[in-house]
Amino acid sequence: MPYIKKFLCRADGKRAFEILINCGFCMKDSQRLIDKKRIFCGPVSVDTKNEILNGEIFMIDYECMSRGIYPIFENDDFAVFDKPSGILSHPNGRHCEYSLCDEIWTLFGKNANVAHRLDRETSGLLIASKNPKSADELKNMFEKKTVQKIYFALVSGRVNENFICNKPIGKAYSDDEIGIKMRIRDDGKPAITEFYPLKFYENIGESGATIIKAIPKTGRQHQIRLHLFHMKHKIFGDPLYGLETYTAEAIMDKKLSIFDRVKFSGATRLCLHAAEISFEFKGENFHIKSKIDFEKEFLNATKI
C-alpha cells in the first residue's frame, strides 16, 4: 500500500511542531500534517501543534510505487504525461494504491504535482508542475482559461453534422445520486463545447458509433460527457451517465465482470481521450499531442 506508517524520531517532552521542525519540516508543513492526522505519538494521532509528546513519533506518508510511466515532454518547469485510462491523476485517500503522482513524485520529488486532473477512465495529456513556482503559474494559466484542449470520444449513433452544446452544468439535484455526478441545470455554471464528427462505425453498438472531436470552451466537471449524453450521444463505456445508480456504482467499484460492463455501458473503459493541449508559458507557445492510439483503444474496448 502506498500509504505507510514510518518512524520519524523519539520525542522527550517537546512540543509537536518543534519535533517536526527538527525533522526537517517547515511550520506550514508541520501544521498541515497535524491537521490531516498524519502524525502519531505511538498509536495515537497528534491533535495540536503545541501538544507535548513523549515516545516514538510516526508519520503516515505516501510511498511512491512507480510503474515506469515517463513524460512525453518536459522542460525545467513542467512535464506532460500520457495518462492511460484507469489511472487516477492524484491519490484519492489512504486506500489509494496507485496514481499518476507515483510517477511524478518518483521522478521530480514531492514538490511536483498535477496542474489539472483527468477522470480516472479518461486517457490522455496531463501537465505536472515540477516546483511550487511553476505550479502557481500553471494554475493561474488554467484559471484564466488560456489553455486550449482537444478531446476525442466514441459516441453512440451516427453524427453527421458539427454542433455546439451550451447548456449550464451544476451538481445533481437528488441526494440519492452518486456524489460526483453532474446535471444540466438552469442555475448551473455556463458550459460550452464544440463537437465535430470524424468517422462512423456501422457495426458497433445497436445504432453504430461515431468518433467525435470535442473542444471544450469552458472547464466544468464532466462537461464533455454530460453535454454528449444530453445531446443523445452517450460516450461508449461511460459508467456514470445513462445508467441506474446501482449499476453505475457497481462499475465504478469494479464489482461487475468485463462482460457485464460491456453489456451495460458498451465498452470496458470510458472512450474519451485528451489528445492535444496548447498554451503559452513564459512567453513560449506549446502545442503538445498525445502519442496514444486512441482509436485503436476505443475499438478494442467495445469488444469482449
Q: What is the pLDDT of residue 2?
A: 72
Task: Kindly report, residue by residue over 164-181, the tens digit of the pLDDT.
Answer: 999 999 988 766 567 788
Q: What is the pLDDT of residue 175?
A: 60
Q: What is the pLDDT of residue 3?
A: 79
Output the DSSP codes for 29-63: HHHHHHHTT-EEETTEE---TT-EEEEEEEEEEE-
26, 274, 296: which is closest to 147 by C-alpha? 274
pLDDT at 292 over 90: yes
Residue % of the chain over a pLDDT of 70:
97
List, in order of start, the domains of the chain with CATH numbers: 3-62 (3.10.290.10), 64-144 (3.30.70.580), 150-274 (3.30.2350.10)
pLDDT confidence tier of residue 31, bands split at 50, 70 and 90: very high
Cell of 42: 505511538
Euclidean distance between CA atoms 165 and 171, whole angstroms: 18
pLDDT confidence tier of residue 287, bands split at 50, 70 and 90: very high
The three-state (H, E, C) secondary structure of 218-276, written as one string: CCCCCHHHHHHHHCCCCECCCCCCCCCHHHHHHHHCCCCCHHHHHHHHCCCCCCEEEEE
Give the lowest-confidence range in 36-40, 226-230, 281-285, 287-291.
Answer: 36-40
Q: What is the pLDDT of residue 5?
A: 87
Biggest CA pair distance of the chain: 73
Q: What is the pLDDT of residue 258?
A: 92
pLDDT confidence tier of residue 246, bands split at 50, 70 and 90: confident
Q: What is the pLDDT of residue 157?
A: 95
Q: Is the Cβ–Cβ distance between 266 and 200 less than 8 Å?
A: no
Q: What is the pLDDT of residue 244?
A: 87
Provide the mean pLDDT of the chain.
93
pLDDT at 1 over 60: no
Is pLDDT larger for residue 63 or for residue 50? 50
Q: Return the active site residues.
A: 119
Task: Kindly report, residue by residue over 117-172, the tens digit of the pLDDT.
Answer: 999 999 999 999 999 999 999 999 999 989 999 999 999 999 999 999 999 999 88
Q: What is the pLDDT of residue 178?
A: 74
pLDDT confidence tier of residue 254, bands split at 50, 70 and 90: confident
pLDDT confidence tier of residue 18, bands split at 50, 70 and 90: very high
pTM over 0.85: yes
Q: What is the pLDDT of residue 253?
A: 85
Q: What is the pLDDT of residue 89?
A: 95
